[in-house]
Structure 1
Amino acid sequence: MNDDDALQSLVDLLDLEQIDRDIFRGRSQSALLPRVFGGQVAGQAMVAAGRTVPQERAVHSLHAYFLRTGDPGSPIVYQVDRIRDGRSFSTRRVVAIQHGRPIFHFSASFQDPEEGLEHQVDMPDAPDPETLPTPQEFFGRHGHLLPDPEIPRRLLGFRAAWDLRYATDPPFVAAAAGGPRPARQQVWFRTVGKLPDDPLLHVCATTYLSDMTLLDSVLLPHGLGGWATGDVVGASLDHAMWFHRPFRADEWLLYHQDSPSTSGGRGLARGSIYTRDGRLVVSVVQEGVVRIPRS
């Protein structure tokens, strides 16, 4: 798949079919994963919510729970509940339904543009994205560390719409290099081509991407290779995002991730997304199941 086709596939994935006033239907990347990717459901739910809100109101936060594993071979229906439309804010609740049961619960709040106080945490140091290996170069260099040669091919196919570059070693590389690391990871990302000038699309695309590497930071202190190597099993439990400033998903964004705690079979991860010029545009928090498989 070339870059244009991959990017169009992402745009099509985030272009839901409206089947009633507040009911939408989405499809999945059925050939690439054995279950529906959580970021896809979150991104599609954001599309559904955003299409019921006045265009001038931008999303500023979302909170979501992953309830059941999604079936990639079946469509997902998104039902939107218009909780509130106030003078400055709108609130929406979305339930994603598959085979007659909810698989995902989502709420988001939107706000009219407003001036106010301004401050942010400075962007941490990170290498320039152009100095880092492309996804193809990275897996060409490190793919032999994975137990199945098909895994790099599937990952590259699944991420084909994204130029995602590791600024620090992901768990499977860090584990092979010798043990525990600090619970921090950095990746640069952008889409492989230009997206349309629709702010909601850029938000939805970044919501999709935000679930892609975040829980890796949970594994680094334990010297585990992670989901791809099979020494850990897990899944996202919940996901929250706060959108601070405008941005584009087709321009370089730094995703700085860390994990403050792992306990009780769960791991907590945090992420801060910065533009290349140092503006903090999104904050992310996610908790996931993290279990060692029983022998």
Structure 2
Amino acid sequence: MENMKTEQLYSLYKPVLFSLAYRMLGSVMDAEDIVQEAFLTIYKSGSDHIQNMKAYMCKIVTNRCLELLRSSSKQREHYVGAWLPEPLVTTASDETDPMQSYLQKESVSTAYLLLLQQLSYVERAVFLLREAMQYDYEEIAGIVGKSSANCRQIFHRAKRSLRVKYDPDHSDRLDQEQTTSLVEQFMYALASGNAAQIMKFLSTDAVLLTDGGGKALLQPLHGHIRISRSVTDFWKKFTEHLTYRIAMVNSLPGIVVYMDKKTWAVISFKVQDGRIDNLYFVANPDKLTHVH
């Protein structure tokens, strides 16, 4: 394959392939690796025999994701504390990037990814291939090794499950300025160390989930009082060492926190009815190597 053709394919298909792999795995680094492997496979084997390049590459990526998920299932089972997806952090300078433009149109919020993780591996693949990639059931059957009728059943079961628990059309498309303003006000209240002020931005039954990979708080915190007191105490203790910036985290406003100028945590939110409903706190350093 000529280099120019490879570059054109990469530019054209990387966004959709990365989106598929990231939502399958919840890992930025693994998704990047699998997409690179897919293009390397095409480069080595050539493309003359491929009639539908997008479908062919999605099949490669899906199968590689399924292999990785199955091989790492034991590791996930023994993960210490809450598991959260690796945060996908972008800035205003990334807006011209075709991949970021594509992802802005997709449901990649932390809350949505966590629900996808509750599906079985095959359910997740079938759902994404049908919902996001618009494949017909015959094509999906060829990818996941099930009958088309079975794939149809799997898809409808997965869609019902997700719809009951989460409505991405509502939760992921709230007014951007309003959500950004809420996140900024929350951070200002946090920086001031005022627990009572922080509580105003949290729903009464808010939940704080921390993914520290065994290196940070393990148990979820429930309720606006406990959360506000806990984060205020922590912030006061380390305030001289902490700085932060507002960023787009999984296509929604979030926060990158630095400890002594090094990336220390990424916080994303689920906002509902003008209040912060869930806080997702990723502090596992292994999941932050790509965040600057």
In the superposition, the TM-score normalised over structure 1's length comes to 0.28
Q: Which has the larger radius of gyration?
A: 2
Q: Which structure has greater helix proportion? A: 2
Q: Which structure has greater strand proportion? A: 1
